[in-house]
Chains A and B, each alone.
Chain A
Amino acid sequence: DTAVSQTPKYLVTQMGNDKSIKCEQNLGHDTMYWYKQDSKKFLKIMFSYNNKELIINETVPNRFSPKSPDKAHLNLHINSLELGDSAVYFCASSSMTGGLSGSGADTQYFGPGTRLTVL
Chain B
Amino acid sequence: QKEVEQNSGPLSVPEGAIASLNCTYSDRVSQSFFWYRQYSGKSPELIMSIYSNGDKEDGRFTAQLNKASQYVSLLIRDSQPSDSATYLCAVRSRGSTLGRLYFGRGTQLTVWP
Q: Hey, which bits of chain A sit against chain B, CB under 8 A?
A: 31, 33, 40-45, 48, 50, 55-56, 90, 94, 96, 99, 102, 104, 106-113
Chain A proximity of B59: nearest CB distance (Å):
16
Q: Give chain B's interface secondary structure class.
A: strand
- Contact call A48/B99, Cβ cutoff below 8 A: yes
Chain B proximity of A92: nearest CB distance (Å):
8
Interface size on B, residues (CB 8 A): 25
Q: How far is the CA of A99 from the CA of B51 in the complex (A)?
A: 11
Residues of A within 8 A of B68 (CB): none
Chain A proximity of B105: nearest CB distance (Å):
5
Q: Give residues of chain B (7-27) contacting chain A, Cβ–Cβ below 8 Å.
A: none
Q: Among the listed A106, A111, A112, which residue makes an inter-chain contact with B32, where contact means beta carbons less than 8 Å apart?
A: A106
Residues of A within 8 A of B42 (CB): 112-113
- Contact call B98/A107, Cβ cutoff below 8 A: no
Q: Which residue of chain B is the closest to A102 with respect to CB atoms? A: B51
Residues of A within 8 A of B90 (CB): 108
- Contact call A31/B99, Cβ cutoff below 8 A: yes
Q: How far is the CA of A110 from the CA of B90 in the complex (A)?
A: 13
Chain A proximity of B34: nearest CB distance (Å):
7
Q: Which residue of chain B is the closest to A96 with respect to CB atoms? A: B98
Chain A proximity of B61: nearest CB distance (Å):
14
Instruction: Identify 18 new A-B residue pairs, CB closer than 8 A, beyond the known A31-B98, A99-B98.
Output: A31-B99, A41-B86, A42-B105, A43-B103, A45-B101, A55-B97, A56-B99, A94-B99, A96-B99, A99-B92, A102-B51, A106-B32, A106-B99, A108-B46, A109-B46, A110-B36, A112-B43, A113-B42
Residues of B within 8 A of A40 (CB): 105
Q: Does B53 contact A (CB under 8 A)?
A: no
Residues of B within 8 A of A48 (CB): 97, 99-100
Q: Mask for B77-109, Cβ within 8 A of A = 1, else 0? A: 000000000101010100001111101011000
